[in-house]
Each structure stands twice: as structure tokens, then as C-alpha cells.
Amino acid sequence: MQKGGMLNSSIAKVLADLGHTDTIVIGDCGLPVPAGVPKIDLALKPGMPSFVDVVTEVAKNMVIEKVEIAGEMAGRNPEVYAAMQALFPEQEWIVDENHEAFKEATKKAKCVIRTGEITPYANIILHSNVFF
């Protein structure tokens, strides 16, 4: 057993395998998963685990270059948007023009991590960087 860090073995494996510019998606429980993209399902019940909790833990264990969201997040889910701004103040931000464009971008991801989140537009794409 690891001393700490990411205990979910599926997420730990994905993070260990990421290369520069690879992406992963963390989404609410309603985000569709594109065909061929593996899903890591963490959803237990509505709201659990929360999107913010999962993103926060993944961010502790991933070198992140860019974050990508749908344009609707800021207006339709300001609490989650503010949490993401606080969590990623130094990363480059990509704001897709709408949720459909965001969903198109998820097709290139190494995986989608599904949370129990039930608030609108609580979805993010994390772009991997290198630590050196």
C-alpha cells in the first residue's frame, strides 16, 4: 500500500501513464463518456464524491499545464467556477465556446473520471505537463 497520495489504483495508474499534453476529464455524473474512452466511476450517490473534492485530489498528484472548461460554467455554476479559479491560478485556461465544444474535446482524453456531482457544467479537462 502507498503511504499516501492517490489511493484509487485506477486513477493512480492513469496519472503515472500520462505524457506531456495528454488529457484527463473529471466530470459530473451526467457528462457523457465518449465511445472508446475509459471511465473511472467514483459516483456513490448524488453529490458524493463532489467534483471539487475529486479535482482537488487529482491536482495534488498531477502536473497540470492547462485546464479546460465549457464557457457556461462561469455563469451557470459560479461556485464551482470560483473553486477552479482558486485551485488553478497559475495554469493556462482554455474556455470552450460552449458545452458541445467541450464534449467534443473529451473524445481525446485518456479517461473520464465520473463524480457524484449534480450541479450543472461541473466538468474539466486537465492537460498534463512535465515536472522538469
Residue 70 bridge partners (DSSP): 96
Residues with Cβ within 8 Å of residue 17, at least 6 apart in sequence: 110
Quick one: pLDDT at residue 27? 98
Domains of the chain: 20-128 (3.40.1650.10)
23-35 mean pLDDT: 98
Cβ-in-10-Å burial (0-12, 13-18, 19+) of 75 comes to exposed
CA dist 58 and 35 (Å) reads 23
Element (H, E) at 70: strand 64-70
Is the predicted pLDDT of residue 53 greater than 80, yes or no?
A: yes
Kindly give the residue spans of alpha helices, DSSP state H, lying in 47-121.
Answer: 51-60, 72-76, 78-87, 99-105
Residue 76 C-alpha cell reads as: 451557470
- Give the per-residue pLDDT at 97: 95
Q: Are 127 and 23 in contact (CB under 8 A)?
A: yes
Report the catalytic residues. 20
Q: What is the pLDDT of residue 2?
A: 78
Least confident of 2-6, 35-39, 64-68, 100-104: 2-6
pLDDT at 31 over 80: yes
**Beta carbons of 59 and 87 less than 8 angstroms apart:** yes
Average pLDDT over residues 88-106: 97
